[in-house]
Every structure is written in C-alpha cells, then in structure tokens.
Structure 1
Amino acid sequence: MGQMQAAGLYSPPPPPQTAPPAPSSPAKDDEPPAKEDKIENPGDMETLTKRAKDMLPQPFDGCKLVLNKGLSQFFQTSHTIQLGSNIQPAQYQFGATYVGSSQISDREYRPVMMGDMSSNGSLVGMLIHQYGNWRLKCNVQTDKSKWVVYQSTLDYIGSDYTASLTLGNPNLFQNTGVLVLQYLQSVTARLSLGAEVLFQKMPGMELSVLSLGANYRGIDWEAIGKIGMHQWSLCYLHHASDDLTLVAEFEGVPMQGESILSVGYKYDLRKANVSFKGVVDTQWNVSCIVEKRLDPLPATLTLSGLINHVSDKARFGIGFSLG
C-alpha cells in the first residue's frame, strides 16, 4: 500500500504461510490460466506491485547472521545479529512466530502471530487471522518507548474481488489518523482493475488521495501499474525462461519532480542451488545479491554488493542463515 507508506505507516514483511514450513515446488509465474474464462481472486491492492519488487535485490552491508529454530510444529524463533553496517549500528534482534492449525488453503494456515524485538528497544508485531471470507491484519511498531505505527486492516475476499478497509494511527484526542479504502476486481482471467482512496487528517490539515491500479498477465509476461496523484509505480515482468525473469520498474513523485527507473533480473541456477538478483537504476546504483543454499544443511550463504560510480561509494555485505 504505497500511499500508506508515504504517509509514514509501516508494512512489515509477510509471515510464513505454512505450519510447519515444508518444501514445495514454486508455481510458475508464466503459467497461463487453465481456462480463459476462469476468473479467480486477484489478491489485494496492497500487494499489487509486491511480486515485481521481490524480484529486485535489496542490498545490505556489513555482516548478518540469522539462526532460525523451530520449537514445535506451530512455533519458531529467530536470532539475528548484524555487525559493521554503515546504515545502522550493530544490533541484535529476537523474533518469534506462531502459525495456527486452521487451514485456509493448501499453503496457508491461520492465525499467524509475529513479533520482532531489537536490542535498541524497538518492537514490530503483526497478527493475521481469517474467518471464512473475512481476514483481519493488525500491525504495531514502536521506536523505543514511543508508538510509531498501530494499524488494522479488514479484508473481504470474494471469488473474484477483494475489498479492504484500513485504519492507521487513529487518535481521538487530537482528531488525527489515516483511513484507506481499497478494491481490486478481476475483470477477465488476465486483467484486474482496482482503486484506492486514502483519507488522512492531521492538525490543521486534511488530505485525500485517489490511486488506480491494474494488472494484466500474458502467457510469459506481466504488466502492473498503480497511479495516484502523489505517486506512480509501473512494473513489467518478462519470464524469459523457467530460470530467468527480467524486471523493469518505474517510480515517480510528480509533485516533487522525482522519478527513478530500475532494470533488473532474477536468475536461478537450480542445479547449483544458486540464485542471482541484479539491478541498475537511473541514480547510477548497481547492486547484486547472490544466494547459495548449502545442501544438505538447512543453511544459506548470501553475498550482497552495491556500487555507485558517480558518488564513488560502495557497500558490501555477507550473510549466513541457518535453519
């Protein structure tokens, strides 16, 4: 939900969808619908451009160590240590995840509860629960002793549409807060159209923003767009093969006269258990992430690099995940 993020709200990463996690073959994005006239649920507006963004690397610097430990079939913990980062000081994070036994689909279970506490006192928490077609999502975030984000989203998931209502940071005493209405409809088996309306009330100021979204899926490509009065986001994915996906993303803020174009790729070398992600953008940033699964161990080695030839800056990171 791009407009919510622009308003200062935080959307934590999505929780694991299985309980317990089990290896499965990922669905092919280039697989066409089984029937041209079969219309399915298109998802929601909040995650409309998420698939394209997940294809692009998110570089980091310094050293990162992640240890995941499953304590039971439904409960697991994680420990993260990050050192030597130029972006943020060294810190330790403890996370806990609970996934319930109520099965929603082949790969989804509810409820899901996640919490993440860092050594500086910050906390991020999330709850997702679903009953029938109704889904509730609650997010909270604190910065030491201050509440930064507290928002709730109620979704109604229809057979070919999703309607959402989000209330963020409500304050009855100061009469402030954010209200977001979203709707995404499958028009055909390949085309989805949606709209988002954001209302924000601040001391002495009121703001409303309208955004329109669309998603069209071809046999081996996908085009996604989300255009609002304050922010544009256009994405294009091309599945060149089962292992290679090309991505182009354009983001702009018309009122500030700022825009950025990113072109990247994701390549999976399956026989070697290696995944490559690379991107170059119009701000002269060139970044890449390499992930190597260390079979038969449940471990992953990650190498990250970013260089900007104009500003003469470079960052390098190495990560290791176990469990």
Structure 2
Amino acid sequence: MAVEPTASSSHLDLSTAQVIKTPITTATGSLLSSSAYEKNASVDSSFLGPLHELTSRIARWRDALDLPDPGTYEQVGREAKTVHLTNYIFDGARAELAKALSLSPAFNVTHSFNMGAQGGAMGGINPGTYSFGGMYATNNVFAQGTIDNDATLMGRFNYRWGPKDISKLQVQWPSNPTNPSVTQVEHERHGKDYALSMKAYNPNISNQSGIFITQYLQSLHPRFSLGIESVWQVMPPMEDASMSYLMKWQSAKKDWISTLTLQATGPLQASYWQRLSDQVEAAVDLQFLPHPSPRDRKAVSTVGLKYDFRQATVRAQADSTGKVSMLLEQRIAPMFTFSVAGELDHAKSQSKFGIGIQLESSPLDENALKGLTPPSPPM
C-alpha cells in the first residue's frame, strides 16, 4: 500500500536538499576563489620575485658580515670629548646638592648655585644664579627638568618604544619673551649595523618653518663606519640645505678611535682618541675653517690628557691659540666631590678660575639598596 507524502515529509525532503546543496555550492565557490587567489599570488610573486630575491641576498650578506652597532651619529667622537675640557671647564664658584629619593625607578632632585662667573651683563661678572632640577628614569622613560631664578624652563623627555626605537623631546622656554625658545623633537632607530636619526628644531606648521636634520650611520666593516647628515632650514621666504659626511675608524680592541667630519660648507674636523693605559687617556682634535683668502683661513688644534686616580680625575688641555686649561675633581668622600678649574689664555692675557663642590645624599640605607638594580634609561 503506497503512502502518500505528507506536508511534513515534503518539508523535510526540501530542507535536506537545501542543506546538501548549500555546502556543495559553498565549497565550489571556495575552490574557485582559492584558485583565483593562487593565480594572483603567482602573478605577484613573478612580478616582485627579483626584488624579493635581491633584498633577501642583501639581508643574508649583512648577517654573514656580523657588523657591530656603530652608535648614533652624535656619539661619534664622544671619547675625545670626555678627555677635553670643553664640556667640563667652568669659572667662578658653584655648588650642587643632589638627593636621591629612589633607586628603582631612579628619582632625584638637585639644587645648583653659581656665582662670580664671567659673561654677565656688559661683559661683567655674573651676579649669581640658582636652579632646581629633577630627574626620573626607568628602563623605558627618562625625564629631566630644571628651572632657574629667571623662570627659564629646560626639560628633556625620552621614551623607548622597543629595543630599536627611541623618541626624544627637548625644550627651553625662557620667561622673557624677547629671548628665543627652543623645541626639539627627535626619533632614533637602531638597527643591527646602522643608526638612523630624524630631528626637527622649532617646527612651526602655521608659517611652515623649522630646521630638519636627518643623520644616518652605517657599519661597513667591524672597524669602519660611514655617516651622512642632511640639514634643511626653512625660514620663509628663504630655504637652505647642506650635507655633512663622517668617517669613523677604530682598532679591533677599541683602544683607539679616529674620526673625520667634512661639511659641505667647507669646515673640516678630525679627532683621535687613544687609551694609553687603564688610567690614562689622550685625545687630539683639529678644526680647519677654509676661506678663499689665505689670510682668513683658520685652523685650531687641541691636545688633551685625562688621568684617573683612585679618588680623583685630572684633565689637562692645550691648543694652538695659546690657551691652557686644567680641571681637578677630587672625591673626598663617597658623597662629596671638590673641583678646581683654571684657564689661561696667553694670546689675550686673560685667565679664569673656578671652584666647586658637589654633595650627594640618599635617605636609603644599605639594607634597602640590596637587591635593587638601577634602571637603564633611554639616552
């Protein structure tokens, strides 16, 4: 006896057919789309294949060379700068009181006093200045700021985004509107064998002005590096661009380093630094300023020596202009440093003398400092 299909059975058969039909259609469409994707991918691969192969070969070649990190463009020649007194000499009397409030994260405050230094109003003696500063540092953040008795604010802020990228901000905002303010934005990229830095001084979007600097330093040999710097100055309605080139050569043990910098405008600077022993370092610097007239050409050579004693550091320097200077930093106690500086210019019959003290204090005892590791902030 035949059974007539009911409405429910017809509905089930139709649903079953739809269920069976749907995955087949979907699978067919997926196969078609996959084939089209593979076809497009093969076209792209055949089009970009030579370029991809070239970049891969260059990457393998650079990895095989195992070139070191050359450091940043600005750090080239820092060994000679630590020997010379350009960044250390002072005159008059100064005192600095520093107090560490925390070690990890690092946090301290400073009080600085200066008086009697030359270079005041109308070339006279500076009556004296006071500044208050603070510093905070972690492994990824470095913040430092100072404000003086004239309400001039100076600050630095560095942030490490990752192992290769660091962003920096520096400001100097005077309270007097007649004095120019400075704002500098910078980003550094550190690769395995190169360093790239981009800076902007006083960028102004409204009038489209500023100074933009790009620096690149590349290791070509474990002992040899080359660098290039471009400077673009935009001061409407005028614009100017210049290039500088740098070379760095060092020994395998890094006990001597020589550098050479050539600017497009003509100035040439060469430096040589050598570690003579564990306590003694020597440095020589030469600056040449060319000029179409031989009488106006200038060259200055500087020789410096640094000696590290157990509780003191002595720096001495002499240049070809007849200027002789010396600095003594004596650590009388672990938290107390006494400094004496002197400079004598034989050509101009001028002299400078400075004396200073530096006192550090910490509320943390030795037990509290155990197990704490100072951070490595981005500098």
Q: TM-score range by the shorter chain?
A: 0.7 to 0.9
Give the secondary structure class of the aligned counterpart of 1:140. strand
Give the secondary structure class of the aligned counterpart of 1:311. coil
- Structure having the higher Rg: 2
Measured against aligned partners, the alpha-carbon deviations of 1:229-286 in whole angstroms (never above 9, x if no partner) come to 233321101211111111101123335744321111111122xx11111111122110
Give the Cα–Cα distance (whole angstroms) in 1 for the partners of residues 347 and 290 of structure 2: 25
Question: What's the counterpart of residue 136 of structure 1?
Answer: 167
Give the secondary structure class of the aligned counterpart of 2:79. helix
Residue 357 of structure 2 aligns with an amino acid whose one-letter code is F
CA contact (8 A) 2:193 2:219 kept: yes
Residue 86 of structure 1 aligns with an amino acid whose one-letter code is Q
* 1:158 has 2:188 as partner: no
Question: What's the counterpart of residue 182 of structure 1?
Answer: 215
Give the secondary structure class of the aligned counterpart of 1:294. strand
* 1:269 has 2:302 as partner: no
CA contact (8 A) 1:120 1:144 kept: yes
Give the Cα–Cα distance (whole angstroms) in 1 for the partners of residues 309 and 146 of structure 2: 32
CA contact (8 A) 1:49 1:225 kept: no
Structure having the larger proportion of residues in strand = 1
TM-score by length of 1: 0.81
Measured against aligned partners, the alpha-carbon deviations of 1:51-90 in whole angstroms (never above 9, x if no partner) come to 2112111321111100111122321111100111112421
Give the secondary structure class of the aligned counterpart of 1:47. coil
Give the Cα–Cα distance (whole angstroms) in 1 for the partners of residues 358 and 84 of structure 2: 20
Of 53, 56, 61, which residue of structure 1 is paired with 2:84? 56
Question: What's the counterpart of residue 43 of structure 1?
Answer: 71
Between the two proteins, the alignment pairs up a number of residues equal to 276
Of 135, 138, 142, which residue of structure 2 is paired with 1:97? 135
> Superposed, which structure 2 residues align to 1:119-130 within 5 Å?
119-130=149-160
CA contact (8 A) 1:177 1:201 kept: yes
User: How far did residue 38 of structure 1 move?
Assistant: 4.7
Give the secondary structure class of the aligned counterpart of 2:80. helix
> Superposed, which structure 2 residues align to 1:245-260 within 5 Å?
245-254=281-290, 257-260=297-300
Of 221, 227, 233, which residue of structure 2 is paired with 1:194? 227
TM-score by length of 2: 0.70
Identity, % of aligned pairs? 28
Give the secondary structure class of the aligned counterpart of 2:140. strand
Residue 193 of structure 2 aligns with an amino acid whose one-letter code is D
Question: What's the counterpart of residue 75 of structure 1?
Answer: 107
CA contact (8 A) 1:280 1:287 kept: yes
- Runs of 4+ deviating beyond 6 Å: none
Structure having the larger proportion of residues in helix = 2
Q: Structure 2: which 5+ residue stretches go unaligned?
A: 1-64, 121-125, 361-379
Give the Cα–Cα distance (whole angstroms) in 2 for the partners of residues 51 and 275 of structure 1: 15
* 1:227 has 2:265 as partner: no
Residue 262 of structure 2 aligns with an amino acid whose one-letter code is I
Question: What's the counterpart of residue 206 of structure 1?
Answer: 239
* 1:313 has 2:344 as partner: no
User: How far did residue 114 of structure 1 move?
Assistant: 0.5
Question: What's the counterpart of residue 103 of structure 1?
Answer: none
Give the Cα–Cα distance (whole angstroms) in 1 for the partners of residues 146 and 314 of structure 2: 28
User: How far did residue 44 of structure 1 move?
Assistant: 0.8
Residue 110 of structure 2 aligns with an amino acid whose one-letter code is S
Measured against aligned partners, the alpha-carbon deviations of 1:90-121 in whole angstroms (never above 9, x if no partner) come to 10011110002xxxxxxxx2200010111122
Question: What's the counterpart of residue 110 of structure 1?
Answer: 140
